[in-house]
Amino acid sequence: MSVSDSTGITAPQTHKRPKDSDTLTDRAYQQLEEMIVTLRLEPGQVLSEAQLAEDLGIGRTPVREALQRLASEGLVNVLPRRGVLVSEINLSRQLLLLELRREVERLCARKAAQRATADERDGFRALADDLAAVADNRDDAGFMRLDLQFNRALVQAGRNEFAERAMRRIQGLSRRFWFQHYREVLDLERCARLHADVARAIARGDADGAATASDALMDYIVEFTRATV
Amino acid sequence: MSVSDSTGITAPQTHKRPKDSDTLTDRAYQQLEEMIVTLRLEPGQVLSEAQLAEDLGIGRTPVREALQRLASEGLVNVLPRRGVLVSEINLSRQLLLLELRREVERLCARKAAQRATADERDGFRALADDLAAVADNRDDAGFMRLDLQFNRALVQAGRNEFAERAMRRIQGLSRRFWFQHYREVLDLERCARLHADVARAIARGDADGAATASDALMDYIVEFTRATV
DNA sequence: CAACAGATATATCGCCCGCATGTTACGTCA
DNA sequence: TGACGTAACATGCGGGCGATATATCTGTTG
């Protein structure tokens, strides 16, 4: 139940850049988000700041601040003097989240098609090719990696810090559901091709095309989400 | 629904006090947001937690947490050992914000038209009438009040906690710009009527109509924003 | 004997405040 | 004038204290 096998404070050693000015709050946030998204902390579980602080080997303050950030994203909610509850994943909530994600992602796609630099367009073209290859080879891990890369490129090329922030918040909740169910019902090939369609539309600067492609992708994701019951 | 904090608009207790379980962090957040939105704290100004804590008569912790929430909304940003900077308002940033707001608000309007209860529809009808009256009388303060009420009803009837959270974040930055410039170039009558159109479409359950009315309203807001230069 | 109401115990957060550390500004000296 | 040391001040963080919600125990009653 507790997370006693935490690797300690130093170096999450992920693929991410080891930013030198990483505060403990940031680290705690990253670790907790990862644990929640990957279901190592299960929905419905109640945690305490003190326990988490001990497990992570840091003080209560950074843990508390990280938890508040997670609460603002909806991954946990704090019960005033009882503890923090890892929020449940239920289908209807997930569909509500997708309602919002559809709008924001379409905006990002449209704006990315308008605003991407030449380099970024090259990147989207390459991404589309890679996605097509992954679709042919049915490479799970490769797709997950490309999906992450795609989302990052999308918000980057969209050039809208507010949409970026909103997307970042949405991602966490989305990723958790994804992580939980993708093995069961994901049509990897179709999903990868739909991603590639968006990427290609952006690459050629077709804003309307990118928007409709994004909607098509979201249609599939909604379908995928519904299929998990 | 999550922690439903009704944001009283002004600092001291208004006529409404559902429960005094407001934490100091909540109070600090409300007060600081109000001060920033109303430009009592000017953009570019650097603040310190300790100073604010002393001014508000509370400890540093609630102030710190409130500032982090404000930072997540983009109203301030913290300079790592230097202080907190009240973020600047510039036109291009505001336009980017409106890009996102257009999408989220259209979503809320559409969903509100689909999901509002009979009581809520009555509320929107009444709101539309009040807005029309305000448009005739050119009642500034009345409009501001109705606008707040309208936005709250909109996200409430939209029945989407995630869109609600996103809108709440957007409101702060939007309201500040509004507060700063509405005296100069606001066409109150037109703006009130556009609001009323959205409200009426929601009241009659016309989702597409609500969406296009919302877009028309946002078109005007963009025009208003551009006119401030 | 079972069920229940009240008293007590325990766990948890909300908050305060002190210390450590990093950044900036400024006075001082060559 | 310029470089440098130092002081002032900022946040990052740790940990303690008190209030309070919940669970546990106890005594009472039908």
Cα–Cα nearest to A174, from A118, A222, A130: A222
- C-alpha–C-alpha distance, residues A202 and A118, integer Å: 11
Strand partners, A151: none
* CA–CA separation, A146 and A123 (whole Å): 12
In whole angstroms, what is the distance from residue B98 CA to residue B139 CA? 25
Query: Closest nucleotide to A28's CA, by C1' atom?
Result: D13
DSSP symbol at A88: P
pLDDT of the residue at A21: 59
Of A68, A77, A165, the CB nearest to B65: A68
Q: Are the CB atoms for A177 and A94 separated by under 8 Å?
A: yes
Which tens digit of pLDDT belongs to each residue from A153-200?
999 999 999 999 999 999 989 999 999 998 888 899 999 999 999 999
Given CATH 1.10.10.10, say whether it is the number of domain B24-86: yes
H or E element, residue B86: strand B83-86
Residues B167-194: what's their mean pLDDT? 93
pLDDT band for position A211 (50/70/90)?
very high
Cβ neighbors of B147 (< 8 A, separation 6 or more) are B195
Taking CB atoms and an 8 Å limit, are B111 and A99 in contact across chains? yes
Q: Is the pLDDT of residue B2 over 60?
A: no
Query: Yes or no: is domain B91-226 CATH 1.10.10.410?
Result: no
Instruction: Give the confidence band of B216 by pLDDT, cuts at 50, 70, 90.
Output: very high
Measured from the CB, is B50 under 7 Å from any atom of strand D?
yes
Q: For residue A76, what pLDDT is reported?
A: 96
pLDDT digits (tens, 9 = 90+) for B70-97: 999 999 999 999 999 999 989 999 999 9
Region A138-153: what's the mean pLDDT?
93
Least confident segment among A19-28, A210-219, B208-217: A19-28
Mean pLDDT of A93-116: 98
Q: Each residue of B48-75: pLDDT tens digit?
A: 999 999 999 999 999 999 999 999 999 9
Dist CA A110 CA A212 (whole Å): 9
- Find out whether B97 and B173 touch, Cβ atoms under 8 Å: yes
How many angstroms separate the first and last alpha carbons of chain A? Answer: 27
Smallest CA–CA distance from B159 into chain A, residue: A96
Q: Can you say whether residue B205 is alpha, beta or left, with left for phi > 0 and alpha for psi between -120 and 50 degrees?
A: left
Residue pair B128/B200 in contact by the 8 Å Cβ criterion: yes
- CB proximity list for B174: less than 8 A, separation 6 or greater: B97, B98, B101
- Which contiguous run of DSSP H or E holds residue A99? helix A91-115
* pLDDT computed for residue B22 by the predictor: 85
User: Looking at beta carbons, which residues of chain A come within 8 Å of B65?
Assistant: 65, 68
Give the residue with greater pLDDT, A6 vs A167.
Answer: A167
Q: What is the pLDDT of residues B10-44, one digit of tens each?
A: 233 223 333 456 899 999 999 999 999 999 999 99
The pair phi, psi for residue B86, each rounded to 5°, is -70, 120
Q: Are B195 and B153 in contact (CB under 8 A)?
A: no
- A7-16, B149-158, B176-185 — which one is most confidently predicted on average? B149-158
- What pLDDT score does B187 carry? 93
| Window from A178-192, B143-157, B213-227 with minimum mean pLDDT | A178-192
Give the domain ranges of chain A. 24-86, 91-226
**8 Å CB contact of B69 and A74:** no
- Taking all residues of chain B, what is their mean pLDDT, rounded to a whole number? 90
Q: In this structure, what token pair is assigned to residue B140?
A: 């500034």
- What does the pLDDT read at residue A8? 31
Q: Give me A67's structure tokens.
A: 């938890």
Which residues are within 8 A (CB) of B99 and not within 5 positions of it... i.e. 6 or more apart?
A107, A111, A160, A162, A163
Q: How much is the pLDDT for A202?
A: 98
Q: What 8-state DSSP symbol labels residue A80?
A: T
**Integer distance in angstroms from CA B214 to C1' D28?**
65
Whether B68 sits with its Cβ under 7 A from any strand C atom: the answer reads: no
Place of tokens 């109203």: B75
